[in-house]
Amino acid sequence: MRRFFVEEKDIKENQVTIKGDEARHIAQVLRLKERDKIKVFTGKGKEYLTEIIQASKKEVIGKILKESKLDTEPPIEITLVQGLPKSDKMDLIVQKATELGVKRIIPVITQRTVVKLNEEKVRARRNRWQRIALEAAKQSGRAIIPEVDAITTFVQSLSNISEENLNLIPWEEEETTSLKEVLKSITDHSAPEGRDLASGGRLPITVFIGPEGGFTSEEVEAAKEKGAVPVSLGPRLLRTETAGLITLAMILYELGDMG
Protein backbone atom coordinates (compact mmCIF):
# COMPACT_ATOMS: atom_id res chain seq x y z
CA MET A 1 0.00 0.00 0.00
CA ARG A 2 1.28 3.45 -0.94
CA ARG A 3 2.63 5.62 1.88
CA PHE A 4 2.67 9.42 2.03
CA PHE A 5 3.99 12.12 4.33
CA VAL A 6 1.77 14.77 5.94
CA GLU A 7 2.38 17.51 8.47
CA GLU A 8 0.75 16.98 11.86
CA LYS A 9 -1.18 20.23 11.42
CA ASP A 10 -2.93 18.72 8.37
CA ILE A 11 -4.56 16.01 10.50
CA LYS A 12 -7.73 17.14 12.24
CA GLU A 13 -10.03 14.74 14.06
CA ASN A 14 -10.55 11.83 11.64
CA GLN A 15 -9.56 13.66 8.46
CA VAL A 16 -6.24 14.26 6.71
CA THR A 17 -5.40 16.82 4.04
CA ILE A 18 -2.49 16.11 1.71
CA LYS A 19 -1.05 19.02 -0.25
CA GLY A 20 1.80 19.91 -2.57
CA ASP A 21 3.93 17.32 -4.35
CA GLU A 22 2.37 14.45 -2.44
CA ALA A 23 -1.15 15.43 -3.61
CA ARG A 24 0.02 15.81 -7.19
CA HIS A 25 1.71 12.41 -7.06
CA ILE A 26 -1.44 10.75 -5.72
CA ALA A 27 -3.85 12.36 -8.21
CA GLN A 28 -1.79 12.77 -11.38
CA VAL A 29 0.95 10.15 -11.28
CA LEU A 30 -0.69 7.26 -9.43
CA ARG A 31 -4.22 8.29 -10.46
CA LEU A 32 -5.68 7.22 -7.15
CA LYS A 33 -9.29 8.18 -6.61
CA GLU A 34 -12.18 8.12 -4.14
CA ARG A 35 -12.36 4.99 -1.96
CA ASP A 36 -8.76 4.04 -2.69
CA LYS A 37 -6.80 3.39 0.50
CA ILE A 38 -3.39 4.77 1.38
CA LYS A 39 -1.20 5.13 4.44
CA VAL A 40 0.02 8.49 5.70
CA PHE A 41 2.62 9.24 8.36
CA THR A 42 3.78 12.36 10.13
CA GLY A 43 7.42 11.53 10.79
CA LYS A 44 6.64 11.68 14.51
CA GLY A 45 5.96 7.99 15.07
CA LYS A 46 2.35 7.58 13.92
CA GLU A 47 0.79 6.12 10.79
CA TYR A 48 -2.80 6.33 9.56
CA LEU A 49 -4.75 4.00 7.29
CA THR A 50 -6.75 6.42 5.17
CA GLU A 51 -9.51 6.24 2.58
CA ILE A 52 -9.48 8.94 -0.10
CA ILE A 53 -12.72 10.92 -0.24
CA GLN A 54 -11.56 13.67 -2.60
CA ALA A 55 -8.55 13.90 -4.91
CA SER A 56 -7.11 16.66 -7.07
CA LYS A 57 -3.57 17.64 -8.05
CA LYS A 58 -3.66 20.47 -5.49
CA GLU A 59 -5.24 18.68 -2.55
CA VAL A 60 -6.20 15.19 -1.46
CA ILE A 61 -8.59 14.69 1.44
CA GLY A 62 -8.89 11.39 3.21
CA LYS A 63 -10.85 9.82 6.04
CA ILE A 64 -8.76 8.16 8.72
CA LEU A 65 -9.82 4.56 9.26
CA LYS A 66 -7.14 3.47 11.73
CA GLU A 67 -4.32 5.07 13.71
CA SER A 68 -1.20 3.06 14.50
CA LYS A 69 1.93 3.76 16.51
CA LEU A 70 4.94 2.64 14.50
CA ASP A 71 7.65 0.54 16.11
CA THR A 72 10.18 0.54 13.30
CA GLU A 73 12.98 2.60 14.87
CA PRO A 74 16.16 0.89 16.12
CA PRO A 75 16.92 0.83 19.85
CA ILE A 76 20.02 2.95 19.18
CA GLU A 77 20.26 6.50 17.87
CA ILE A 78 22.93 6.85 15.20
CA THR A 79 24.31 10.10 13.84
CA LEU A 80 26.33 9.80 10.64
CA VAL A 81 28.96 12.50 10.18
CA GLN A 82 29.85 12.11 6.50
CA GLY A 83 32.74 13.77 4.75
CA LEU A 84 31.40 15.26 1.51
CA PRO A 85 32.15 12.89 -1.39
CA LYS A 86 32.47 13.79 -5.05
CA SER A 87 29.71 13.59 -7.65
CA ASP A 88 26.27 12.40 -6.48
CA LYS A 89 27.54 9.78 -4.02
CA MET A 90 25.94 11.66 -1.11
CA ASP A 91 22.52 10.97 -2.61
CA LEU A 92 23.13 7.23 -2.27
CA ILE A 93 24.58 7.60 1.22
CA VAL A 94 21.56 9.56 2.49
CA GLN A 95 19.11 7.14 0.91
CA LYS A 96 20.70 3.96 2.22
CA ALA A 97 21.57 5.36 5.65
CA THR A 98 17.90 6.30 6.04
CA GLU A 99 16.80 2.81 5.05
CA LEU A 100 19.20 1.30 7.59
CA GLY A 101 17.84 3.42 10.45
CA VAL A 102 20.15 6.40 11.00
CA LYS A 103 18.57 9.29 12.90
CA ARG A 104 20.71 12.23 11.81
CA ILE A 105 23.13 12.96 8.98
CA ILE A 106 25.75 15.71 9.18
CA PRO A 107 27.58 16.46 5.91
CA VAL A 108 31.03 17.87 6.66
CA ILE A 109 33.89 19.51 4.84
CA THR A 110 37.21 17.96 5.82
CA GLN A 111 40.83 18.68 4.92
CA ARG A 112 40.63 16.27 1.99
CA THR A 113 37.21 17.29 0.71
CA VAL A 114 37.48 18.34 -2.94
CA VAL A 115 33.88 19.47 -3.45
CA LYS A 116 33.51 23.26 -3.72
CA LEU A 117 30.02 24.71 -3.18
CA ASN A 118 28.72 28.26 -3.01
CA GLU A 119 25.90 29.24 -0.63
CA GLU A 120 23.19 28.66 -3.20
CA LYS A 121 24.45 25.18 -4.00
CA VAL A 122 24.81 24.39 -0.28
CA ARG A 123 21.13 25.18 0.28
CA ALA A 124 20.07 23.27 -2.82
CA ARG A 125 22.07 20.19 -1.85
CA ARG A 126 20.65 20.14 1.66
CA ASN A 127 17.09 20.45 0.36
CA ARG A 128 17.75 17.65 -2.12
CA TRP A 129 19.21 15.36 0.55
CA GLN A 130 16.28 16.04 2.89
CA ARG A 131 13.85 15.09 0.11
CA ILE A 132 15.82 11.90 -0.50
CA ALA A 133 15.63 11.09 3.23
CA LEU A 134 11.86 11.67 3.14
CA GLU A 135 11.37 9.35 0.16
CA ALA A 136 13.60 6.68 1.70
CA ALA A 137 11.71 6.91 5.01
CA LYS A 138 8.40 6.48 3.16
CA GLN A 139 9.66 3.47 1.23
CA SER A 140 11.29 1.71 4.16
CA GLY A 141 8.46 2.16 6.66
CA ARG A 142 10.38 4.44 9.01
CA ALA A 143 8.50 6.09 11.85
CA ILE A 144 10.65 9.22 11.63
CA ILE A 145 12.43 11.15 8.90
CA PRO A 146 16.14 11.60 9.58
CA GLU A 147 17.31 15.19 9.80
CA VAL A 148 19.97 16.18 7.27
CA ASP A 149 21.95 19.05 8.78
CA ALA A 150 23.41 21.98 6.90
CA ILE A 151 26.90 21.38 5.58
CA THR A 152 29.47 22.27 8.23
CA THR A 153 33.17 21.78 8.87
CA PHE A 154 34.60 18.70 10.53
CA VAL A 155 35.88 20.80 13.46
CA GLN A 156 32.44 22.35 14.00
CA SER A 157 30.81 18.93 13.91
CA LEU A 158 33.06 17.81 16.76
CA SER A 159 31.83 20.66 18.96
CA ASN A 160 28.26 19.32 18.68
CA ILE A 161 29.14 15.75 19.66
CA SER A 162 28.77 14.60 23.25
CA GLU A 163 31.72 12.79 24.80
CA GLU A 164 29.17 10.61 26.59
CA ASN A 165 28.15 9.05 23.28
CA LEU A 166 29.89 6.16 21.63
CA ASN A 167 31.87 7.98 18.93
CA LEU A 168 33.45 5.79 16.26
CA ILE A 169 35.83 6.88 13.52
CA PRO A 170 36.74 4.16 11.02
CA TRP A 171 40.30 4.86 9.83
CA GLU A 172 42.41 2.91 7.40
CA GLU A 173 45.55 3.50 9.48
CA GLU A 174 44.09 1.97 12.65
CA GLU A 175 45.86 -1.35 13.23
CA THR A 176 45.03 -2.40 16.79
CA THR A 177 41.30 -1.88 17.39
CA SER A 178 38.60 -3.29 15.14
CA LEU A 179 34.97 -2.25 14.96
CA LYS A 180 34.07 -5.84 15.78
CA GLU A 181 36.03 -5.69 19.05
CA VAL A 182 34.44 -2.41 20.14
CA LEU A 183 30.92 -3.65 19.44
CA LYS A 184 31.60 -6.92 21.26
CA SER A 185 32.84 -4.98 24.29
CA ILE A 186 29.47 -3.23 24.42
CA THR A 187 27.43 -6.42 24.12
CA ASP A 188 29.60 -7.81 26.90
CA HIS A 189 28.73 -4.70 28.99
CA SER A 190 32.35 -3.63 29.06
CA ALA A 191 32.77 -0.56 26.89
CA PRO A 192 36.06 1.19 26.08
CA GLU A 193 37.56 3.30 28.85
CA GLY A 194 35.28 1.65 31.37
CA ARG A 195 32.12 3.41 30.19
CA ASP A 196 28.90 1.44 30.57
CA LEU A 197 27.29 2.03 27.19
CA ALA A 198 24.76 -0.77 27.49
CA SER A 199 22.76 0.73 30.33
CA GLY A 200 19.35 0.74 28.68
CA GLY A 201 17.43 3.29 26.65
CA ARG A 202 18.42 4.41 23.19
CA LEU A 203 22.19 4.33 22.95
CA PRO A 204 23.55 7.42 21.13
CA ILE A 205 26.25 6.54 18.61
CA THR A 206 28.13 8.86 16.26
CA VAL A 207 29.95 7.50 13.22
CA PHE A 208 32.55 9.66 11.45
CA ILE A 209 33.27 8.76 7.83
CA GLY A 210 35.90 10.54 5.77
CA PRO A 211 35.60 11.59 2.12
CA GLU A 212 37.70 10.17 -0.70
CA GLY A 213 41.20 10.02 0.70
CA GLY A 214 39.95 9.56 4.26
CA PHE A 215 40.69 11.63 7.34
CA THR A 216 44.06 13.15 8.09
CA SER A 217 45.93 12.09 11.22
CA GLU A 218 45.26 15.57 12.66
CA GLU A 219 41.52 15.12 12.22
CA VAL A 220 41.61 11.70 13.85
CA GLU A 221 43.52 13.15 16.81
CA ALA A 222 40.93 15.93 17.14
CA ALA A 223 38.17 13.33 17.17
CA LYS A 224 40.02 11.26 19.77
CA GLU A 225 40.14 14.32 22.04
CA LYS A 226 36.32 14.28 21.93
CA GLY A 227 36.31 10.64 22.99
CA ALA A 228 36.10 9.09 19.52
CA VAL A 229 37.49 5.59 19.08
CA PRO A 230 39.45 4.93 15.86
CA VAL A 231 38.51 1.51 14.48
CA SER A 232 39.51 -0.71 11.59
CA LEU A 233 36.91 -2.13 9.20
CA GLY A 234 39.23 -4.88 8.01
CA PRO A 235 42.15 -5.39 5.62
CA ARG A 236 40.48 -4.01 2.50
CA LEU A 237 40.25 -0.31 1.68
CA LEU A 238 36.62 0.73 1.26
CA ARG A 239 35.18 3.62 -0.70
CA THR A 240 33.56 6.39 1.34
CA GLU A 241 30.07 5.43 0.17
CA THR A 242 30.74 1.83 1.23
CA ALA A 243 32.49 2.44 4.55
CA GLY A 244 29.63 4.34 6.19
CA LEU A 245 26.92 1.91 5.16
CA ILE A 246 28.97 -1.11 6.22
CA THR A 247 29.67 0.49 9.60
CA LEU A 248 25.99 1.30 10.13
CA ALA A 249 24.95 -2.23 9.17
CA MET A 250 27.45 -3.80 11.58
CA ILE A 251 26.36 -1.56 14.44
CA LEU A 252 22.67 -2.21 13.81
CA TYR A 253 23.29 -5.94 13.59
CA GLU A 254 25.22 -6.11 16.85
CA LEU A 255 23.38 -3.48 18.92
CA GLY A 256 20.17 -2.78 17.03
CA ASP A 257 17.37 -4.69 15.40
CA MET A 258 18.83 -5.93 12.12
CA GLY A 259 19.07 -9.65 11.49
Residue 154 near residue 110 (C-beta atoms within 8 A): yes
Predicted local confidence at residue 126, as pLDDT: 96
Predicted local confidence at residue 48, as pLDDT: 95
Predicted local confidence at residue 201, as pLDDT: 55
CATH number of 3-69: 2.40.240.20
CATH 3.40.1280.10 fits 76-254, yes or no: yes
63-88 average pLDDT score:
94
pLDDT surpasses 50 at 62: yes
* Residue range(s) of every CATH 3.40.1280.10 domain in the chain: 76-254
Predicted local confidence at residue 60, as pLDDT: 97
164-173 average pLDDT score:
94
Predicted local confidence at residue 160, as pLDDT: 81
Question: Any residues with CB less than 8 A from the CB of 157 and at least 6 apart, and which?
Answer: 81, 106, 108
Give pLDDT tens digits for 170-227. 999 999 999 999 999 987 754 444 344 444 456 799 999 999 999 999 999 999 998 9
Residue 64 near residue 48 (C-beta atoms within 8 A): yes
pLDDT surpasses 70 at 12: yes
Mean pLDDT over each residue of the chain, to the nearest integer? 92
Residue 171 near residue 221 (C-beta atoms within 8 A): no
Question: Any residues with CB less than 8 A from the CB of 127 and at least 6 apart, and which?
Answer: none
Predicted local confidence at residue 187, as pLDDT: 79
Q: Where residue 246 falls among pLDDT bands split at 50, 70, 90?
A: very high
* Residue range(s) of every CATH 2.40.240.20 domain in the chain: 3-69
Give pLDDT tens digits for 92-147. 999 999 999 999 999 999 999 988 888 899 999 999 999 999 999 999 999 999 99
Predicted local confidence at residue 192, as pLDDT: 43
Within 10 angstroms of residue 206's Cβ, the number of other Cβ atoms is 25
Predicted local confidence at residue 197, as pLDDT: 42
Q: For residue 238, which of 255, 225, 250 has the smallest C-alpha distance?
A: 250
Cα–Cα distance, 51 to 35 (Å, whole number): 6
